[in-house]
Amino acid sequence: LTVGSTGANGVGELYFSADDGTSGIEPWIARLSSVSLLKDLSPGRASSDPAFYSAGDLVFLFADDGVHGLVPVQTDGTSEGTQLVDDINTTESIEDFSGWARFGDHMYFCTMGPIGSDLYRAPINHRPSSVALTGQQVAENRAAGTVVGTLSATDPDAGDTAVFSLVSGPGDTDNGVFV
């Protein structure tokens, strides 16, 4: 067990590394009554072997994604929100890391390689906030395909956009009526 965090909904989360016999050693997450694989960062039987650092409602980890080598990854506790922070492994092979620190909107950390240590500064990608729906009432007998509302979100990171989608699972019985 490695690091705890408070998720966006205020519920405690526990992040840890585990091997399920299929995915190798990968990041897992435990919430209240569920435990699940967060994301198979190094797909297949290979292991990403993550190490974690909590930063408020975000968790950072160093992991081997099978493509870039040992790199920083940021997660918001969802598979979709688990993403490469930066491919810092471009000039030398990073062997280890240390010294995570959050200052403002950046994470700082040191990496160790065959020719010495380097200090990195990586931006934090914040979650969108203030999700809003315009047109909260629908007039009767509207034609199919009529726009009845628009979803929007405020993203504190300049240049980022929010994407909304309907997902399958509990409560998805009416997904087919949306265009």
In the chain, what's the furthest Cα-to-Cα distance?
Answer: 70
- Strongest mean pLDDT among 104-113, 124-133, 162-171: 104-113
pLDDT category of residue 91 using cuts at 50, 70 and 90: low
CA angle 52, 105, 16 (to 5 degrees): 10
Residue type, 57: D
Exposure on the CB side of residue 109, measured as CA atoms within 13 A? 24
Give the Cα separation of 141 and 69 in Å (integer): 56
pLDDT at 2 over 70: no
Q: What is the pTM assigned to this prediction?
A: 0.66
User: What are the C-alpha distances in Å from 111 to residues 62, 119, 152, 164?
Assistant: 10, 7, 38, 36
> Which tens digit of pLDDT belongs to each residue from 16-61?
999 999 999 999 998 878 899 999 999 888 898 888 887 766 788 8
- Write down the mean pLDDT value for the chain: 80
